Structure 1
Amino acid sequence: MNFFPHRCRVLIGPPAIAVLITVAGCSSADDTASAAVPRPSAKATKLCRDLDKVLPSTVDGESRHDPDPASALTAGWGGPAIILRCGVLQPPKMIDPKVAEGSDPDAVAGGVDGVDWLMEKRDGGGNRFTTANRRVYVEVTVPKGPDSSGVLIDLASAVKKAIPEGIAF
């Protein structure tokens, strides 16, 4: 006798569907932010891990709540989340001559407490900041709000401590 068809009916029957709906309902209530984890070189990963160890527990008055998936290359604070990703690729706008001339209104270069940043406006509001003149690119996305300078001030010390100045590898 072949019992395989009966087993399939039991697994796909109403009890199994009810369990799946219950599990899916529980997991969809999670408000954790998500962030794509960069895949830098081994040298860059080491520096990013060093950065993770010295990141502040609060940024701009917001407590640390790391995004999913968990990684030493990403960090987050608050909700909506301020997200840091270490080891990202160089942003195309960073090599755009319009930015260097100051004629690109969507990208502005500047420094905060000894760390140089490229600021890019994001669709839907908020900004993306990427470190410049450091051995590894660190990206920080900040949700729409009145002022994001507090975020960069709070992160500057950790970036200076863990990511040396120089040309990114």
Structure 2
Amino acid sequence: MNSFRHRLLGLPLLVLLTAAGCSAADEGPTAAVPSPDAKVVAVCEDLDEAMPAKVDGLVRKDPQPSSKLTAGWGNPLIILRCGVAQPPKMVDPEVAEGRDADAVAGGVNGVDWLMEKQDDGAYRFTTANREAYVEVTVPEGRDSSSVLIDLAPAVKKAIPEGIAL
């Protein structure tokens, strides 16, 4: 009878340890959700609906917390965030004149992007000349050109050309 009591007392500890093992860290990669105004949220929701199921051959796996303003593909995750603020380098004259080696402007299939190399080797791309800024972070070692080619139709369909507010 004594051993039975010890097994019952150990049960709550086992349950607690098991629950602790299922932490938020187990939910997968995270991405900060932008907080744009209502007009930008509407076009970002349109972008979410137009998003491809695969990018660079990788299946969609959205980051946490779940939001229509973020999307992801693969592992390590390619992360898209819609409705971000204008990157400071987008208004930097050094970038506009092509003198900033860490930030380059260019277009892919009708979508203009600012490309910025990150300290960890990843590349961050932000749309230009659209009514909302869309940011795509491509981990080091991925072919960023195929990522942008795969995303271009959705961006063109959902985010109108113009000046983001």
Q: TM-score of the superposition, structure 1-length normalised?
A: 0.88
Which of these residues, 69, 72, 75, is aligned with residue 73 of structure 1? 69
Partner of 1:130, secondary structure, is: strand
C-alpha distance in 1, partners of 2:105/2:92? 11
Matching of residue 137 in structure 1 with residue 149 in structure 2: no
Deviation at 1:22, TM superposition (A): 1.5
Deviations 1:17-55 (A, max 9, x none): 543322121336726211000000000000000000000
Change in Cα spacing, 1:85 to 1:67, as seen in structure 2 (3 Å) is same
Uncovered stretches (5+) of structure 2, i.e. residues with no partner: 1-8
Deviations 1:61-97 (A, max 9, x none): 1000011000000000000000000000000000011
C-alpha distance in 2, partners of 1:74/1:29? 18
Matching residue of 1:106: 102
Uncovered stretches (5+) of structure 1, i.e. residues with no partner: 1-12
C-alpha distance in 1, partners of 2:24/2:85? 31
Deviation at 1:14, TM superposition (A): 7.0
RMSD of aligned alpha carbons: 1.7
C-alpha distance in 1, partners of 2:124/2:73? 15
Note if contact 2:27-2:64 (Cα within 8 Å) is conserved in structure 1: no
For residue 96 of structure 2, what is the amino acid of its counterpart?
A
Alignment of 1:16-165 (within 5 A): 17-27=13-23, 30=26, 32-145=28-141, 147-165=143-161
The 4+ residue runs of structure 1 with deviation greater than 6 A are none
Change in Cα spacing, 1:28 to 1:46, as seen in structure 2 (3 Å) is closer
Q: TM-score of the superposition, structure 2-length normalised?
A: 0.90
Deviation at 1:168, TM superposition (A): 0.3
Identical positions, percent: 68
Change in Cα spacing, 1:146 to 1:138, as seen in structure 2 (3 Å) is closer
Aligned length: 157
